[in-house]
Every structure is written in C-alpha cells, then in structure tokens.
Amino acid sequence: MADMVKSFRELTPELQATAGGKGGTLARLFQAGYPVPAGFVVLPTAFLDEKLTDEAWDEVRVHLHAITKDNVRAQFAVRSSALSEDSARTSFAGEFETVLNVESDKEIQEAIYTVFRSREAERVKAYSAIQGMDQLHQIAVVVQLMVPSEISGVLFTADPFTGSFASMIGNYVHGLGERLVSGEVDAHTFKLMRPKGKYDGPEEFKKHAPVL
C-alpha cells in the first residue's frame, strides 16, 4: 500500500524526499525537537485525477482529529510543498496557493484541493518556463496547526545577495507571514552580525532579536 498521508513525526528520511522541500524540512525540525506546530503532509500519491482518494481522505481525517481532540477550535494552514519548489537559482515562494485559518473537515478538504490545483496556475507555468523547468510540478500539501502571530517573517542565515555568513538578514511584517511572501505588504528589514549578534534594524523588533 502506498504511503499517502504522514505526520511530521512519521515522515522517515526515505519519505521526506516525496514530501517536498517544506514538508521534509518541517518533519526534520519537528523530529529534532524544535518547537514546530503539529501537522502532517499529504503526499502526491494521495491524489487521483486531481482529487484525494477515499482512503487518503480517511487518513487526513484521522490526522486532523488527532490534533483537534484536545483543541476543538483549532485552525489550520494548508500550504504547498512542491518537490521542485526551491533551489539555489529558483524560488517558488508565493507562486503556489496557501489557505489559512481553515477549521472544518470540509474547509480543509477544499483547501487541500485549492493548493494542489495551484500547480497548474498560469503564474506557475510562466515562472517555470522562464527558469527552463517542467511546467507540471509534483506537489505535496502541508496541513499544519495555525499559530496566531503578532509578528512573522523570514530569516536568511546567509546574506541572500553575497552568500556571506558574516550576518543574517531578516524581513518581518505585523500579523501573518503570508502577507510577506505574497508581496501584499512591504517588509521591515533587520540585520544580525555574527558572532556577537549586533542588531541593526527597527527598534520595535530589537527585543525579539536575541532569540534568533
């Protein structure tokens, strides 16, 4: 029987390759003990003719209810994890769909379909063509517990322009991080110098810098 839906805890190194970049990385962080919100990955094998098989949907519901049994008001983020998503010269951030704050089984099922079908979006095909890549992407779908956030952002552990490890560059926005990666709002930028962690950026974020 094909593996179709696996929690972050269950994703073995062998299966992580089929979970896409985001799904595989979240699983590794979760298994290493980092504070990663609970979730699971719907693998490409779960889909037949653009829809979840009945067996796969049953597995999705089992994983959902395992998370919600102690939190009946839990909401979820449903995101892409394409097997070809990012590389040294390409980035698909914001190209595939993301659906946030979904709660009921029906909403989550529709969100999974929305994300999975976004691999056929014209913007994805156009970007893939520019990069000389196959325009039809293998895609997994991550379903993860939502975290209400006051500030969200992206941290580059090496300078994204020079590759230097002398500093870390970060961008943040108020509220959910999707507003940042989608380009909906302009980000605030900060820099942390190594090795002493000297901070250069907006004063409001300085108190958060030490945890990075």
Per-residue model confidence as pLDDT tens digits over 44-53 = 999 998 899 9
The whole-number average pLDDT for the span 119-145 is 69
Q: Are residues 139 and 181 in the same domain?
A: no
Q: Are residues 34 and 67 in the same domain?
A: yes
Q: Are residues 110 and 28 in the same domain?
A: yes
Q: Are residues 94 and 183 in the same domain?
A: no
Q: Are residues 123 and 164 in the same domain?
A: no
Q: Are residues 62 and 39 in the same domain?
A: yes
End-to-end CA distance of the chain: 42
The whole-number average pLDDT for the span 137-144 is 90
Q: The domain containing residue 162 runs over which residues?
A: 151-211
CA 116 to CA 97: how far, in whole Å?
Answer: 8
Q: Are residues 81 and 176 in the same domain?
A: no
% of the chain beyond a pLDDT of 90 = 54
Q: To 10 degrees, what angle do helices 105-117 and 54-68 make?
A: 120
Q: Are residues 179 and 163 in the same domain?
A: yes
Domain count, the chain: 2
64 pLDDT above the threshold of 60: yes
Backbone angles phi, psi at 20, to 5 degrees: 80, 170
26 pLDDT above the threshold of 80: yes
Q: Are residues 52 and 69 in the same domain?
A: yes
Q: Are residues 88 and 50 in the same domain?
A: yes
Residue 187 belongs to a domain with what CATH number?
3.30.470.20
Tokens of 54: 């009945």
- CB distance 166 to 193 below 8 Å: yes
Q: C-alpha angle 99/71/208, rounded to 5°?
A: 65
**148-195: pLDDT as tens digits:** 888 888 889 888 888 899 999 999 999 888 777 777 788 999 999 988
Q: Are residues 18 and 71 in the same domain?
A: yes
